[in-house]
Every structure is written in structure tokens, then in C-alpha cells.
Structure 1
């Protein structure tokens, strides 16, 4: 290894540790493309970086100046293990983003904190672990004719369901089973997602870098590419950029980087669907200057 100022671990998971994607594996290809852009930009700062599985027992994290969350996309399926690892590794190296921020962002109860800090979010009712409400009763209580229900700790649309009074009874057993182990949230279905999709704005060092628009496939409501969603270039208006930057600024501590997923509510106003601060897909390959901006921000953390 050539002599460099610092060492950075780019955190991934076991499924994505390969350095070359097999033919036709566009998913890993996209991951590697983004990471290569970031690694090249880090090298310009004299920073050596390595992609590593966060759960590998063979890594000495104390040898790295900073560990940067990139594609740890299995953490929500391994919550207990990930939390134990996080509590351990935070004593061995610096984490980017901060461990306290990661812990906060893991659980979508953070939406209530954002709202309390003056950031409009999709209206949310939390259904706590161990409770046993009837879905139909929750719809009656909230007045929402149609809603989304999903776990508070989740990703890639895991156990994300669209529910109305007609489907509530058939979905009830699934919800009851989930509530034995985890809390859920209920939100009114945002019909704008079907036509306008979800706008995703990337924020690095508090400043907007670029955006994409994610659209669901016809007949679905999920925008993730795991479920057939597609990603499109998008130029957000200044008001939306300001909104995203304000949402990110409401976090404590301030994120080094992250993503704000925004939809329009039934009144046409911007609301936060989610903040992605743990392992956000950043689409650096769609806007290569963002890789430089992210490397600059990481270098500030590494080099002070």
C-alpha cells in the first residue's frame, strides 16, 4: 500500500464486496461505479480507501481513521447484530455519519423529532411493538381512506403495504405477526407518488449537490429499483432545495452527507418522506461532481 495521509473504510456488506461485477449484474455494477468515483476523489486528497463488509470479524477497525457508511443494506435485517457492532466500532474509529446520528436515523420515530423541529413530514401514526390494534380501526381513527403501513426499522420497502378498508382484514395477520417483534408506522397514502414519484435530493456538508426523481413501475407504488422502480434526472426548484437543506440542518449532530426523500402532500406542499443518513444511495454516477464534494467532506472529517 502506498504511503498516504489517512485510511478510510468504505462500509458495505457481504453481498457487495466483490471488486468486479459479473456480466449482467447491473446492481453491483452501479455500487462499484459510485464507490470508484468516491475512491478516486479521496485519492486526490492522499486518502487511501478500502471497501469492507461491516460484519466481517477479521477487520481491525482501529487501523482506519474513519469508516464511511456506503452500502450496508442488510442492517435492518440484522438489527441486533448491527447495533452491537455499531456500539463496538464507535470506540475504535470515527464514523461518518456519527454513530449517534446513525442510531437516531435507524428508527423512523425520528420523523416525530423532525416534525417537532418544524420540518413538515408525511403525517405518521406509530403503532408500537406489542400492541394489537385492528387496521380498520386505525383507518377510522385517522380518517385516512388509504394508507401505507411499514416497519419503523426497514429499507428497500421491506414489509411495506398499501392498505384500505377493503384489504385491512387480509393484511391484519401479517401486521399482528410483525408487531410481536417491532414497531410499525401508518401514513396516509400519498397519491402524488403514482404520477410524480419521489424526489431525492442529495446534501453534502449541508449543501445540495444533485437530485433524482424515482418513479414506481406501472401498477405499483414502490419506487425502489428492487421492485421495478426507475430513476430519472431531476432539477429541483430553489424552494425544494431550501426545504431539503433545512430538513438536513434540523438533524443533531449535523450529517456529513445524506439524502432527503420528498413528496408532495394532498395540498401540494413539500413533506419529508424519509431522511437517509445511514447508507444512502447517492447516485454519484449521475452527477460526478458530487463524488468530489463527498470526498472533500470526508477529508475534512479525516484531516480536521
Structure 2
């Protein structure tokens, strides 16, 4: 079972690729919405969470669904992983270098240094939703106030020019094994592409450097076996790689960007079953 969402205007362009690759290894796949009350989840050998992009507004409902499904069949990735990963405060728990991040918590004072440019976003978000990039500290502070005033935790980070020069590097792992890597288009830079937004140019194939692979595998070592994981990295000014995000819930997997990628995912699923 391939799990998606209901909005027909934001197309999941990896759905057909993934299901076709599953068929090639003997797995019959169906596509269903996560919130469809008519689905008998127990009827499937596995339920693969892929594009539930509306969970942001319904996170508690989504996590309750995940726990129910996991009680009757195999859920990939597991409900505990989804719960931890859908709030980016998980970054504070990782034993790995992350890009400089300050936190705006409701009811608490926010203290952060001056940056040339700020990125301010909520800790629960997808696709740069409710995220701003600004060189105006007052504008950054106002957005933090809006987020925390609504009971949301804000993340404050410097905008790194590296994402437009060196670029972000996403490393994809299926079944715990490295599959491929891409240079992602910056989501806050110019006419950036956003997965699921009707565009088909999300990045370019890239061979990762050894230090990037080492950091990705260091981050993943803290998690159980996962069907899929995307590790998003950027290089800091000193050249060292740092984690932007660890995507374990609904990441775009760049299946069209490496010829072996769909088969790698399918084989990982077959092994999990």
C-alpha cells in the first residue's frame, strides 16, 4: 500500500514510478489516502507512508492514524519514527553537526545573533510552508512572534549562500543502504522548484563526497532500520558538512534522477516484507 493524500492539484510524480518498480519485484501495490475511512489497513502486508503532505494541519490525527495502522500491519516508516520526525525539534537531539539554529518557544524569550539574512520557519512544516527569508531582523522577529503567538515553535537560522553555490546535497538511503544523491534546488532561492507543486525539476544527480556520506551514516546510526531516509546536507563557510534536515516521513525521493533508484526502493521493500 502506497499512502498519499487527497489534493489533486499537488501531484505526487513518484507514485507511478514506485508502484511500477514494486511490481517488477513481485509486489502488488495500491494507492490510498491516509485519511480514507473506508480503507481496511489490516488487509495489506505493509503500508508505506509516502506523501501525506497535509499532516501539518492535522498532525495529531495523522499520528493517531499511524499508531492504529501499526497495530494491525507493518507501517513503513514506523509510527515512532514518524512522531519524532514530524517536529523538527528532533534536530536538538542529534549527535551531529547541524546548521546554526535558534529556537523560539511559546512563552519564552528569544535570543539570537544578527545574521546577514534570516530564515524563520515553524518546527512543524513541509515544503517551506510559513517560512520566510529576510535580511530585516525586525521582520524576522515579527514572524517569530506570529508563530509563537499561535503556539508554534519557531526555528531561526542564517541563510547560507552555499545553498545557491555549492548547493544542498540530499543523500537517499533505502533499507539502510545508500542509493543515490542529488544536488537539490534551493527552496528559498529565486525560482526554486518545490516537490509536489506541479514542477518536475527538483535537482540534479550528484556523487556525494566521503565526508558527506560519513555524516549521513552517523546521523542514521541513531535510528532503527528504515525503508527510506533522506539526509539533507549543506557545507558551512569552513567547508564542513552540516545537517539541514533528516527526512523520514514524506520526503521527495528523486526516483527519476538515478536509474537504479526505483529498483533500490523496491528491493528494500521486498526485504522488509
TM-score with structure 1 length normalisation?
0.80
C-alpha separation in 2, matches of 1:129 and 1:221: 33
What is the match of residue 123 of structure 1?
Answer: 100
Change in CA separation of 1:246 and 1:227 when aligned onto 2, cut-off 3 Å: farther
Change in CA separation of 1:147 and 1:169 when aligned onto 2, cut-off 3 Å: closer
Q: Which runs of 5+ in 1 are unaligned?
A: 1-8, 17-24
Asked if residue 177 in structure 1 is aligned to residue 154 in structure 2, the reply is no
With 75-84 and 204-213 compared, the bigger mean Cα shift is at 75-84
Partner deviation per Cα, 1:155-212 (whole Å, 9 max, x = no partner): 1001112244xx2323444332221221111122222112222111111122211111
Q: Which runs of 5+ in 2 are unaligned?
A: none
Post-superposition offset of 1:77: 2.6
Contact 1:193 1:221 in 2 (8 A): no
Post-superposition offset of 1:295: 1.2
Match of 1:101 among 63, 81, 85: 81
C-alpha separation in 2, matches of 1:239 and 1:62: 42
What is the match of residue 36 of structure 1?
Answer: 16
C-alpha separation in 1, matches of 2:90 and 2:193: 22
C-alpha separation in 1, matches of 2:202 and 2:19: 26
Post-superposition offset of 1:40: 2.5
Post-superposition offset of 1:230: 4.4
C-alpha separation in 2, matches of 1:246 and 1:267: 20
C-alpha separation in 1, matches of 2:192 and 2:242: 17
C-alpha separation in 1, matches of 2:158 and 2:143: 19
C-alpha separation in 2, matches of 1:37 and 1:95: 20
The RMSD of aligned alpha carbons is 2.5
Matches within 5 A, 1:273-284: 273-284=244-255
What is the match of residue 6 of structure 2?
Answer: 14
Post-superposition offset of 1:221: 9.0
In the alignment of these two chains, the number of paired residues is 270
C-alpha separation in 2, matches of 1:48 and 1:257: 19
What is the match of residue 160 of structure 1?
Answer: 131
C-alpha separation in 2, matches of 1:289 and 1:176: 45
Post-superposition offset of 1:120: 1.3
What is the match of residue 267 of structure 1?
Answer: 238
Match of 2:162 among 176, 192, 201: 192
What is the match of residue 236 of structure 1?
Answer: 208
Change in CA separation of 1:208 and 1:131 when aligned onto 2, cut-off 3 Å: same
Asked if residue 48 in structure 1 is aligned to residue 35 in structure 2, the reply is no
Contact 1:157 1:222 in 2 (8 A): no
Residue aligned with 1:285, SS: coil
C-alpha separation in 2, matches of 1:202 and 1:104: 19
C-alpha separation in 1, matches of 2:192 and 2:106: 24
Q: Quick check: which one's helix share is greater? A: 1
C-alpha separation in 1, matches of 2:237 and 2:193: 19
TM-score with structure 2 length normalisation?
0.88
Change in CA separation of 1:112 and 1:222 when aligned onto 2, cut-off 3 Å: farther
Contact 1:194 1:221 in 2 (8 A): no
With 148-157 and 70-79 compared, the bigger mean Cα shift is at 70-79
